[in-house]
Structure 1
Amino acid sequence: MTITKTLMGAAATVALATGMAAAEPGLIIDLGGKFDKSFNESAYNGAQRWVEETGGSYAETELANEAQREQTMRRMAERGADPIVVLGFANASTLDVVAPDYPETRFVIIDEVVDQPNVKSITFAEPEGSYLVGVMAAMASETGTVSFIGGMDVPLISKFACGYAQGVKATNPDAEVIVNMTGTTPTAWNDPVKGAELTRSQIGQGSDVVFAAAGGTGIGVLQAAADADILAIGVDSNQNGLHPGKVLTSMVKRVDNAVFDVFTAAEDGTLETGHEVLGLDNEGVAVAMDENNAELVSPEMKAAVEEAQAKIASGGIEVHDYLTDNSCPAY
């Protein structure tokens, strides 16, 4: 049952303190829509899995434009949703302003850190997973040239590109890695036509494996790669099945698990605020292996990925995080 903010008095405060569920959770889906076949859809799938397994319900809103960010958060808080899961780094500055106005409401932001006492921040070790798909790309490439297409040109996406380039170069030091971003505004996340154009340009420069970390734009990348008979690498969700036999793998970010676990913890009364990083060691990122790419992944490639994963976990391989100094040693 949803409890509105006007009713959240002493009883609601006691319920929160004792771990009782005071309200249904909320999910604010970022620009691009919940069926983007990528980040947003993974989050939506996690919420739906929670509904199926618990019989619970949650409030959901999809952002249609930038101007809706603040009003959507406030409306969700006013209706009494708790916790409120906000998707995407672009919501961080807004949440930093809104969260203090609703101290009894817990917020969760996925893909960025907001330092407020009632906010849980969940980020991912994207460089680690991207390193592994870089290893695979270098081994699969016949031309020695591979490429990367990002969505909006922001540091978060450079984390993917840099991790990928490191994996490629560690496997084939002579390889060339072409990096392009789709744009500098949020529309870059949902421009499959531009994604396809960039892919064809990279193919013209010799690329025969392209990794897309571009939200809905990546759908155009994967389609153009399949049309040109080169390999693509998906992101966030497992996109191997979009073009079976043409998608080498997907660098999966378990956004679905993050949302599912947050909803579950809130229901159990165990949700904690603070910062949590999901990486290879806790299955927050992974490379997707299934029947759709089985024929593309050789035993040698699997062994190389497993070896790299073990070395990353043990500290034998240290994958540079672009965010630490806004630079990448691989290019």
Structure 2
Amino acid sequence: MRRISKLTRVAVGVASLGLVATACGGTSSDSGDSDTSERGVAIAYDVGGKGDQSFNDAAYAGLTKAKDEFGYKTADIEPTEGETDADKEQRLASLAKQGYNPVIGVGYAYGLAMEAVAKKYPDTTFGIVDSTVEGGNVASLIFAEEQASYLAGVAAAKATKTNTVGFVGGVDVPLIHKFEAGYKQGVLDTDPKVKVLSQYLTQTAEEGGFASPDKGKAAAEGQIEKKADVLYAAAGLSGQGVIEAAAKAKVWAIGVDSDQYKQAALAPYKNSILTSALKDVGGAVYALSKSVQDDKPLTGTQTFDLKVNGVGLSESNPEYAKVAGLQDAVNKVKQEIIDGKIKVNTE
């Protein structure tokens, strides 16, 4: 499958997009008709939906930017509990039938559904986040999560005072393994004496691993009891529980996907969020929308990595710059990853 790098070149930063992400839930649409003469972009959310302050909200920020800039009609649709691939297929097909273009599935769970629907609507451009789907009208939006997580690991190793840090994964799947692998490597490359505790909340998304703050909080409390004083969660909405537990225990949390230090719903805990491993999902949504607006719809595998600022590490918390050696260490390894001197593990 060909790669078209222009998508990443026009992507906007997660940090700026995060400012427009809303914290509310629900399903919204600016137009319920099927008038295909009016441009429109639609996103179908992953587990956790809008208001997760993370992955899904980043996608919504990109949708909002496309709406504001291009005057698009928009729709953003919530998942339903216990839904099947057939349900996802019906949702994507309905959006395409209404004339939305592009139609974007936020999350790897849309893979099978999108493969089927894209064939039925060849004149619609589809996008899928975190999965690769073959098709001449599909853009697969893939991120180097392991690279951002490596930087988070460097930060954790520099910030820990107990030489014990934690990782909480939402669901035990290959995508989240990338976060864990990069984080562990970043920690141990920085200081081999630091111990990394890892825990996954569930084996499947249906069990709530990405949508249960209570599970995240319980896992974090367990790691804190074992002396972990920096906790990194790649767990969607469940990560809010990890951040809450860290704040209560007065230890550091590391956010994920969006700059969680800036998220309004997390304001009570912001001083405990040292940094966030950023993933420019919003930039991908916006850029794919722009390509359709320009009548040059992009397809193929689009890789967002450090080289194109598709992933990164936030510096919003003033305390980030105060941790001895942290900023210099992160800047150094970031360049080494870009230059190919450091190869980051994905599993």
TM-score where L is the length of structure 2: 0.84
- Residue pair 2:320, 2:326 contacting (<8 A) in 1 also: no
Q: Does 1:190 align with 2:211?
A: yes
Q: Does 1:61 align with 2:77?
A: yes
Question: Counterpart in 2 of 1:104?
Answer: 123
Unaligned runs of 5+ in 1: 9-20, 323-331
Q: Does 1:45 align with 2:61?
A: yes
Q: Which amino acid aligns with 1:133?
A: A
Q: CA deviation at 1:270?
A: 2.0
Q: Which residue of the other structure, out of 327, 330, 345, is the alignment partner of 1:302?
A: 327
For residues 318 and 201 of structure 2, what CA distance do their matches in structure 1 show? 26
Q: CA deviation at 1:313?
A: 0.7
For residues 73 and 124 of structure 1, what CA distance do their matches in structure 2 show? 22
Question: Counterpart in 2 of 1:15?
Answer: none
Q: Does 1:254 align with 2:285?
A: no
- Residue pair 2:321, 2:327 contacting (<8 A) in 1 also: no
TM-score where L is the length of structure 1: 0.88
Q: CA deviation at 1:104?
A: 1.7
CA change 1:261–1:228 in 2 (3 A) is: same
Q: Which residue of the other structure, out of 212, 216, 222, is the alignment partner of 1:201?
A: 222
Q: Which amino acid aligns with 2:310?
A: G
Determine what percentage of the aligned residue pairs are the same residue.
Answer: 37
Q: 3-state DSSP class of the match of 2:150?
A: helix
Higher deviation after alignment, 132-141 or 294-303: 294-303
Unaligned runs of 5+ in 2: 1-30
Q: Which amino acid aligns with 2:73?
A: S
For residues 150 and 296 of structure 1, what CA distance do their matches in structure 2 show? 27
**Superposition map of 1:73-112 within 5 A:** 73-112=92-131
CA change 1:100–1:22 in 2 (3 A) is: farther
CA change 1:142–1:131 in 2 (3 A) is: same
CA change 1:295–1:254 in 2 (3 A) is: closer
For residues 43 and 297 of structure 1, what CA distance do their matches in structure 2 show? 31
After superposition, give the CA deviation of every residue in 1:158-217 in whole Å (9 maximum; x if it has no partner).
000000000000001121111101102221111110110000111111211010000000
For residues 219 and 109 of structure 1, what CA distance do their matches in structure 2 show? 25
CA change 1:64–1:293 in 2 (3 A) is: farther
Question: Counterpart in 2 of 1:11?
Answer: none
CA change 1:245–1:118 in 2 (3 A) is: same
For residues 144 and 123 of structure 1, what CA distance do their matches in structure 2 show? 33
CA RMSD across the alignment: 1.8
Q: 3-state DSSP class of the match of 2:165?
A: strand
Q: CA deviation at 1:56?
A: 2.4
Question: Counterpart in 2 of 1:13?
Answer: none
After superposition, give the CA deviation of every residue in 1:60-116 in whole Å (9 maximum; x if it has no partner).
211123233121011112112111111001111221222212222211001111011
- Residue pair 2:41, 2:72 contacting (<8 A) in 1 also: no
For residues 103 and 159 of structure 2, what CA distance do their matches in structure 1 show? 42
For residues 271 and 92 of structure 1, what CA distance do their matches in structure 2 show? 20
Higher deviation after alignment, 70-79 or 279-288: 70-79
Indicate the structure (1 or 2) with the bigger Cα radius of gyration. 1
Q: Does 1:153 align with 2:172?
A: yes
Q: Which residue of the other structure, out of 227, 244, 259, is the alignment partner of 1:223?
A: 244
Q: Which residue of the other structure, out of 150, 156, 160, is the alignment partner of 1:131?
A: 150
Q: CA deviation at 1:299?
A: 5.7
Question: Counterpart in 1 of 2:22?
Answer: none
Q: CA deviation at 1:295?
A: 5.3
Which structure 1 residue ranges, 4+ long, deviate > 4 Å from structure 2? 1-4
- Residue pair 2:38, 2:72 contacting (<8 A) in 1 also: no
Q: CA deviation at 1:264?
A: 1.2
Q: CA deviation at 1:245?
A: 2.3
The alignment covers a number of residue pairs equal to 307
After superposition, give the CA deviation of every residue in 1:31-63 in whole Å (9 maximum; x if it has no partner).
212111010001101111222223322222111
